Structure 1
C-alpha cells in the first residue's frame, strides 16, 4: 500500500500574508478560504493549509521540488521581494545557491521564520 501526503498545516501569524508570500515566490495560486485555512495547492496534489496561529510560531522546514527552468525566476522573485536566500540550511552562505545532487537549491525564510527550500533535483538516498 502506498500513502501520499495530501495536505499539511502551516502555522502563520498572518495566514493571508504568508500564503501570498509563498505562492508568489513559487508561482502558485492562493485558493479560497476553507474554514480557518487558506490553501496553496502545489503541483503534485499536496495542499499547504495556512492557519492563523496564536502565540509563537515554531519554525518548520518545507522543501519544494521545482523545475530547473523556473529556478532562476524564483530566485529573481526572492531578490525583488528583498528576501535573502542561502546555499545552506543554516543560512551561512547568503546570496548563493547550491548544486547538490546535480541540481540547484536555495533556502529562505518565510514571514514567520519557516525555513523554505527550493531544489531542482530530489535528494539522493542510498539504496
Structure 2
C-alpha cells in the first residue's frame, strides 16, 4: 500500500479569517465547511482543515510548492496589502524573497501566527 498525505488540522483563533486569508493569497477556491472545520483544498486531494480554538496556539510551519504564476500573484498581494514577509525563516531579511534552490521563496504569517512558506522549487532544486 502506498502512503499519501491527505489532511491536517490547523488551529486558529478565527478559522474563517485564517482559511480565507490563505485561500485568497494562494488563489485557491473558497474554503468549504466540513463538520466544525473550514477546509482549504490543495492539489492532489490534500487539505488544511481549520478549526477554531480558544487555547493558546503553538505556531506551526506550512510550506507550499507553487508555480511561478501563483508565486507572482502571491507576492503582489502580500506587497499590496503590506503583509510582513521575509526571505528567510529567521526573519532577518524583511520585505525580501529568496532565490534558494534555483527558485524563489517567501515566508509570512497567517492571522493565527502560523508561519507560511511558498517556494517555486523544492529544496535541493528537484
Do these two structures clear the TM 0.5 threshold for a shared fold by scoring above it? yes
Structure 2 residue matching 1:49: 3-state secondary structure: strand
> Contact 1:11–1:52 (CA<8 Å) still a contact in 2?
yes
Partner Cα distance (2:107, 2:94) in 1 = 9
Correspondences of 1:53-68 after superposition (within 5 Å): 53-68=53-68
Q: Is 106-115 or 71-80 further displaced after alignment?
A: 71-80
Q: Deviations over 1:99-121 (max 9, x none)?
A: 11100000000001101000000
> Contact 2:71–2:120 (CA<8 Å) still a contact in 1?
yes
Residues 31, 70 of structure 1: alpha-carbon distance in 2 compared, 3 angstrom cutoff: closer
Q: Deviations over 1:69-92 (max 9, x none)?
A: 221210011122221110000111
> Contact 1:30–1:38 (CA<8 Å) still a contact in 2?
no
Number of residue pairs aligned between Structure 1 and Structure 2? 125
5+ residue gaps, structure 1: none
> Contact 2:32–2:40 (CA<8 Å) still a contact in 1?
no
5+ residue gaps, structure 2: none
Partner Cα distance (2:67, 2:108) in 1 = 18
TM-score if structure 1 supplies the norm length? 0.93
Question: 1:80 aligned to 2:58?
Answer: no
Runs of 4+ in 1 over 2 A off after TM superposition: none
Question: 1:114 aligned to 2:114?
Answer: yes
What is the Cα-based RMSD across aligned positions, in Å? 1.3
Provide the residue aligned with 1:40 in structure 2: 40
> Contact 1:85–1:95 (CA<8 Å) still a contact in 2?
yes
